[in-house]
């Protein structure tokens, strides 16, 4: 009886200190470092490149479980891809239009995610990094990532620059990643409340 009471007290104290357990696995995508031509972000910042494109994977998160006991977070597929074109600060207010984008998985499957009949666009806004001002235009393509693997997005578009438009043809590489974690419940609830 004393042993059972001691175990119950230990479990109770552990629960009070942790407020349960939270486990999660969140898929995501990170831009690969460098372009197919061997240029890097620093080359853009240093002025050696006229523009630099990055791709990001945007995943919706879901939560399930019994709060204060055991909860789980996961990423809901399909995910979206966000394409960000960085250019000189003189492009502020101009627009970046994607006329065609093709998603190419490493296994060879190809899917058109933006078609000529329904182009997508974003407006350049100003940012600053490492003391350099530059502009970024983001274009989101929702619900187009179904597979959990690396992929490339072949982008054909243009920067609408008034009298002379600038054609953009880029292959944007995104590396699939999954982050798994285990946290005490108090950490999860604190994080979700921010």
Residue 3 to residue 10: CA distance in whole angstroms: 11
CB 81 within 8 A of CB 153: yes
Average pLDDT, the chain: 83
Task: Tell me the two tokens of residue 18.
Answer: 């942790």
For the chain, percent of residues with pLDDT exceeding 70: 88
Asked if pLDDT for residue 65 goes beyond 80, the answer is yes
Q: Confidence band (pLDDT; 50, 70, 90) for 34?
A: low
Mean pLDDT of 147-159: 90
Q: What is the pLDDT of residue 129?
A: 77
pLDDT at 17 over 80: no
pLDDT tens digit sequence for 74-117: 888 888 888 888 888 888 888 999 999 999 999 999 999 999 89
Task: Look at residue 161 in the predicted model and tell me its pLDDT.
Answer: 76
Question: Does 35 score more than 70 pLDDT?
Answer: no
Please name each of the domains of the chain with its CATH number.
32-66+76-179 (2.60.40)
Listed in order, strand segments (DSSP E) in the chain are: 21-31, 51-66, 70-88, 95-105, 110-114, 120-123, 125-129, 132-145, 151-160, 166-184
| Segment among 23-37, 47-61, 72-86, 109-123 with least mean pLDDT | 23-37
Q: How many CA atoms lie within 13 A of 83 on its CB side?
A: 31
Over 90: is that where the pLDDT of 26 sits?
A: no
Determine if the pTM surpasses 0.85. Answer: no
pLDDT > 90? residue 68: no
Higher pLDDT among residues 179 and 157, named by residue? 157
């Amino acid at each position: 009886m004393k042993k059972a009471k001691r175990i119950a007290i230990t479990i109770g104290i552990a629960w009070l200190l942790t407020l349960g357990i939270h486990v999660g696995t969140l898929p995501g995508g990170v831009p690969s470092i460098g372009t197919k031509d061997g240029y890097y972000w620093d080359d853009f910042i240093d002025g050696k490149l006229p523009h630099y494109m990055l791709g990001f994977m945007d995943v919706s998160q879901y939560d399930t479980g019994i709060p204060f006991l055991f909860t789980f977070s996961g990423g809901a597929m399909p995910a979206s891809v966000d394409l960000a074109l960085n250019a000189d600060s003189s492009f502020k207010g101009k627009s970046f239009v994607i006329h065609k984008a093709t998603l190419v998985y490493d296994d060879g499957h190809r899917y058109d995610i933006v078609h000529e009949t329904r182009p997508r666009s974003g407006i350049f806004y100003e940012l600053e990094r490492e003391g350099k001002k530059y502009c970024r235009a983001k274009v989101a393509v929702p619900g187009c990532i179904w597979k959990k693997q690396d992929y490339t997005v072949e982008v054909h578009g243009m920067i609408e620059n008034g009298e002379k438009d600038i054609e953009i043809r880029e292959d944007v590489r995104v590396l699939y990643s999954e982050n798994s974690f285990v946290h005490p419940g108090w950490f999860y609830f604190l994080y979700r409340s921010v």
